[in-house]
């Protein structure tokens, strides 16, 4: 059976970057920054991305390209009759879990497109104030079924693109729209720097308070790094399976890591100066920061301040955010669909329907759990937060840990080097250091951080 592939080299970069850049960068990253003390978190995050980003990503790409299979098939091909394929199953489960709560937030982007088009951040021609916009966001969260409806629409959209096949689906859009997203973020960043309390926002980001670093902050940074780079659950194995035998995977992964980190840092540079200037931060005494409303209140406020162009920029921004989320949900659904098609031999159409319905079924509980007094809570936290926690802070680190162990210790240096250099055709002077990180540094760092999080929750 011939497999769908990506048209060009930029195709796979666009697709992997499309998976990486999404709500994780623009929504979750600011949430985590605000909840974990700002500067110190940022520093640890960047350190993790710098040291582990490319090596872990390469481990996944190499497994995918060597086998040209979905994660389960890949491990089964490389180590038949072993327990390693379990790692692939874990990835499929993780894709379900992430999809379930990610699609809730993705649905919100659709609601905010409608709000933007309808000029609903204004009333009778006057821009609404910050408190009203926050209150309206919270009121929207209480409308459980409206959330579910948007979520369903988003999953449907994802299923539609996945059904049409990976290659012709994503790369066309990502190539044009992602640079546009970066451009808008730069424009917004320059603008928010002129706001009156921008300095406080920058101080929050760039004056690290090292006493804030605890085990749980470390795990949050690790989890955020893996989440943002789509690592540790097989998306990159799946996309790696489409990489051509003569492509340079090192430059591919470098480009993806760079693009992803740039978008995340830019988003933080937009959000925090604005959040301090509009009074969302620092949190009022006796209250906690509500990371969830952070972008959905500060962004409309920024656009409100830019009278005139603000209206159009607001629409364009939320559309781009929705597209960025879509190229991420596509990659998640693709992991499940690839498994159903290649391992269970379902026709692609039915695999897509089944995967979408499955994500929706779990996702309903995530959306409804955000209502006040919802019964869908576990251990005092909403089902949504539990899904987020278990995927980003448990499954992704554990997945990544075993992936690097697999490449570093089970497959070994000769196999890795041959794959990475396309059987010696590429001269890569960094292959030694990359392998050293995969074999020793990455497993150690991930294990130590993970354990420190368990000891200091």
Catalog residues that contact ligand PHE under the rule CB under 6 A: 19-20, 22-25, 98, 227-228, 230, 233, 235, 328, 331-332
Shortest gap between Cβ of 387 and ligand PHE (angstroms)?
12
**Strand 122-123 and strand 126-127: pairing?**
antiparallel
Preceding amide of 395 cis, omega within 30: no
Choice between 202 and 225, CB closer to ligand PHE: 225
Q: What token pair was written down for 150?
A: 């948007």
Choice between 228 and 277, CB closer to ligand PHE: 228
Cβ atoms of 162 and 334 within 8 Å: the answer is: yes
Residue 407 three-state SS: helix
| Closest residue by beta carbon to ligand PHE | 24
Name 122's bridge partners: 127
Q: What gap in Å lies between CA 68 and CA 76, rounded to an integer?
A: 12
Shortest gap between Cβ of 227 and ligand PHE (angstroms)?
5
Shortest gap between Cβ of 290 and ligand PHE (angstroms)?
20
Shortest gap between Cβ of 339 and ligand PHE (angstroms)?
14
CA dist 112 → 197, 297, 314, 410 (Å): 26, 11, 9, 48
Shortest gap between Cβ of 279 and ligand PHE (angstroms)?
28
Q: What gap in Å lies between CA 114 and CA 349, rounded to an integer?
A: 30
Choice between 304 and 356, CB closer to ligand PHE: 356
Q: What gap in Å lies between CA 233 and CA 217, rounded to an integer?
A: 22
Q: What gap in Å lies between CA 241 and CA 74, rounded to an integer?
A: 9
DSSP per residue over 6-74, as a string?
-SSHHHHHHHHHHHHSSHIIIIIHHHHHHHTTTHHHHHHHHHHIIIIIHHHHHHHHHHHHHHTS-HHHH
Choice between 98 and 404, CB closer to ligand PHE: 98
Choice between 202 and 263, CB closer to ligand PHE: 263
Shortest gap between Cβ of 220 and ligand PHE (angstroms)?
14
Shortest gap between Cβ of 218 and ligand PHE (angstroms)?
19
Within 207-280, residue ranges assigned H as helices are 215-228, 235-240, 249-277
Choice between 167 and 396, CB closer to ligand PHE: 396
Choice between 227 and 272, CB closer to ligand PHE: 227
């Amino acid at each position: 059976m011939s497999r769908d592939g990506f048209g060009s080299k930029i195709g796979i970069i666009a697709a992997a970057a499309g998976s990486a850049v999404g709500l994780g960068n623009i929504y979750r990253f600011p949430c985590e920054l605000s909840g974990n003390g700002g500067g110190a978190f940022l520093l640890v995050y960047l350190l993790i991305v710098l040291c582990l980003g490319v090596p872990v990503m390469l481990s996944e790409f190499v497994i995918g390209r060597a086998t040209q299979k979905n994660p389960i098939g890949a491990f089964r091909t490389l180590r038949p009759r072993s327990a390693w394929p379990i790692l692939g199953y874990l990835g499929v489960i993780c894709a379900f879990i992430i999809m379930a709560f990610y699609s809730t937030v993705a649905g919100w982007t659709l609601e905010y497109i409608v709000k933007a088009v309808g000029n609903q951040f204004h009333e009778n021609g006057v821009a609404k104030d910050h408190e009203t916009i926050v209150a309206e966001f919270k009121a929207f969260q209480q409308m459980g079924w409206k959330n579910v409806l948007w979520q369903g629409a988003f999953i449907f959209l994802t299923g539609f693109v996945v059904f049409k096949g990976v290659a012709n689906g994503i790369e066309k859009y990502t190539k044009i729209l992602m640079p546009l997203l970066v451009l808008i973020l730069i424009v917004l960043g320059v603008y928010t720097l002129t706001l009156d309390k921008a300095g406080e926002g920058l101080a929050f980001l760039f004056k690290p308070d090292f006493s804030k670093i605890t085990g749980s902050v470390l795990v949050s940074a690790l989890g955020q790094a893996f989440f943002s780079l789509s690592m540790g659950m097989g998306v990159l194995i799946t996309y790696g399976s489409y990489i051509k035998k003569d492509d340079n995977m090192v430059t591919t992964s470098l480009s993806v890591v760079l693009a992803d980190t740039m978008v995340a840092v830019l988003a933080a540079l937009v959000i925090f100066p604005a959040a301090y200037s509009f009074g969302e931060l620092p949190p009022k005494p006796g209250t906690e920061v509500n990371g969830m409303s952070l972008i959905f209140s500060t962004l409309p406020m920024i656009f409100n301040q830019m009278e005139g162009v603000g209206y159009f920029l607001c629409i364009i921004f939320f559309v781009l955010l929705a597209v960025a989320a879509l190229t991420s949900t596509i990659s998640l659904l693709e992991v499940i669909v690839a498994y159903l098609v290649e391992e269970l031999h379902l026709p692609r159409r039915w695999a897509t329907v089944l995967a979408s319905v499955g994500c929706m079924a779990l996702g309903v509980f995530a959306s409804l759990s955000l209502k006040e007094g919802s019964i869908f809570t576990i251990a005092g936290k909403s089902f949504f937060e539990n899904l987020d926690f278990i995927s980003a802070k448990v499954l992704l680190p554990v997945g990544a840990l075993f992936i690097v162990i697999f490449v570093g210790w089970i497959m070994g240096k000769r196999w890795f080097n041959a794959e990475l250099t396309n059987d010696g055709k590429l001269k890569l002077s960094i292959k030694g250091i990359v392998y050293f990180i995969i074999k020793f540094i990455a497993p150690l760092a991930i294990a130590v951080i993970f354990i420190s999080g368990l000891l200091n929750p």
